[in-house]
Amino acid sequence: MITIRPLELWDKDQLIDIIREFVQYERDAFDPTSSVEHTYSDIFLERIDKKFEDNPDSQHYVAIDDESWVLAGYIYGIVMDYPSRNIGWGKMSYLLNLYIKEEYRAHWLWKKLFTQYKDRAKEQWATRLKLHCLKWNDPAKGFYEKMGFEVYDYTLEQSV
């Protein structure tokens, strides 16, 4: 059985391991020349540490295997004010990261973690959910479309 719950301080070591796995997955698929350690230390560790500070707008949930106590997946995002051309100011929840260990992907943890995240965003008065999905990540794009997301805009970038 899998339990979905908020991230706790004692999850930090396992979360660091799963984030390393996530960064390796992205690097292998997208940019084999990037440094896993550099990406990991500069971006994700800082975000994890901020979770344990007093930040009521951040949302961190983990999926724990109740038999082995293994962290099987996590989701992370933040609720913030945003300007909208249609309705003025409002609150938007920006999903920053969702990852499930490969051996747990058949357990519908994506949907369970996302549902917990979305419910919490509603409690925080968010009226929109937003995320960024890399163009090569077809499994994630398919999942997000099934969850009701639509392409809203395109972000372009280039190396400098």
Is 157 within the bounds of a domain?
no
H/E element, 96: strand 88-100
Q: Report the pLDDT averaged over residues 126-155.
A: 85
Is 158 within the bounds of a domain?
no
pLDDT of residue 140: 85
pLDDT digit string (tens) for 136-150? Answer: 888 888 888 988 998
Which residues, listed in sequence order, are joined to residue 99 by a DSSP beta bridge? 74
Checking if the pLDDT of 26 tops 80, the result is: no
Query: Looking at beta carbons, which pairs linking 108-114 to residues 24 or more positions away fall under 8 Å?
Result: 109/2, 109/4, 109/63, 109/72, 109/73, 110/73, 110/143, 111/143, 111/147, 112/2, 112/4, 112/63, 113/4, 113/61, 113/63, 113/73, 113/74, 113/75, 114/75, 114/147
Is 151 within the bounds of a domain?
no
pLDDT of residue 63: 92
Return the CATH number at 142: 3.40.630.30
Is 26 within the bounds of a domain?
yes
Q: Which of 16-25, 26-35, 136-145, 146-155 has the lowest mean pLDDT?
A: 26-35
Q: Report the pLDDT averaged over residues 49-58.
A: 62
Is 60 within the bounds of a domain?
yes
Report the chain's mean pLDDT, rounded to a whole number: 79
Q: Report the pLDDT averaged over residues 93-118.
A: 88
Domain residue limits at 53: 2-146
Is 106 within the bounds of a domain?
yes
pLDDT of residue 41: 47
pLDDT of residue 72: 93
Domains of the chain: total: 1
pLDDT of residue 78: 85
Determine what percent of the chain is predicted with pLDDT higher than 70: 76
